[in-house]
Amino acid sequence: MTQEPVELVIFDCDGVLVDSEWIYCRVDREVFATLGAEFTEEEMVEHFVGSSHELLTSILEERIGRPLEPGWGAPFRQRYEDALDAELTAVEGVADVLDTLHVPYCLASNGSHASIRKNLTRVGLLDRFEGRMFSARDVARGKPAPDLFLHAAATLGVPPEHCAVVEDSPYGIQAARAAGMRAFGYCGGLSRADRLAGPRTVVFDHMRELPGLLGTPLG
């Protein structure tokens, strides 16, 4: 079967462009313990990497056995900001990839527009995505539903079958498959390759491999 050419690359943000997942997981674990919920490191990766805020809240409520008030995370927000200010970096090699790609690209994240902009600013990547950033707040359902990726593709006028999605979480990979897009699972961070592998999915472990996998060689 002939492979459709890639006309748009849709990048996730956390764990794909910015090396934030390990920071979030560490602070999340501290915050959740404060709320009375203990999770192992493996559980943190399995349940929360790439999840929407709604899904995270649901899992947390189930573990602590009670509902959380709307805005429950507000008192802890500064913990995340301080950790990100001090420790956040771009994923190794991603700036070179963005500068060399000969395919249009955008960003689609379960995070809010504010957090996306802050994190890209922290690592010096914001200018590469101005006008091409999509948040789960823009659609009815975040990942693992396909809504966000389909919204990004429709906005930029590219058919889903001509889109490639770069993700580091099973939730994101599931969303890409549901959208009818090719999926590229980056396992250079916290996610294991076996949790990303599957149909219409290429798994890779260094960001500099991506252009070659897309058929676009690095310059």
- The answer to whether position 2 is within a domain reads no
Same domain flag for 58 and 32:
yes
- The domain boundary, picked from 58, 86, 114, lies at 86
Note whether 203 and 128 are same-domain residues: yes
Q: Is the dihedral of CA 170, 176, 178, 182 positive or negative?
A: negative
Asked whether residue 123 is assigned to any structural domain, the reply reads: yes
Range of the domain at 177: 8-19+88-214
Q: Is the same domain home to 105 and 190?
A: yes
Decide if 3 is inside a domain: no
Domain check: are 129 and 61 in the same one? Answer: no
How many structural domains does the chain have? 2
Query: What pLDDT shows up at residue 209?
Result: 94
Q: Check residue 48 and give its pLDDT.
A: 82
Report the pLDDT value the prediction gives residue 1, as an integer from 0 to 100. 40
Residue 215 confidence (pLDDT): 67
Q: What's the confidence (pLDDT) of residue 182?
A: 94
pLDDT for the residue 195: 86
Same domain, 165 and 106: yes
Show which of 86, 104, 128 is a domain's final residue. Answer: 86
The answer on 171 and 74 residing in a single domain is no
What are the tens digits of pLDDT across the range 175-205?
A: 999 999 999 999 977 677 888 999 989 999 9
Residue ranges of the chain with per-residue pLDDT less than 70: 1-3, 190, 215-219
Residues 205 and 193: beta-carbon distance below 8 Å: yes
Whether residues 97 and 54 share a domain: the answer is no
Residue 68 has a pLDDT of 94
Residues 68 and 108 in one domain: no
Q: Where residue 53 sits, what CATH number does that domain have? A: 1.10.150
Q: ∠ CA(212), CA(51), CA(79), 5° rounding?
A: 105
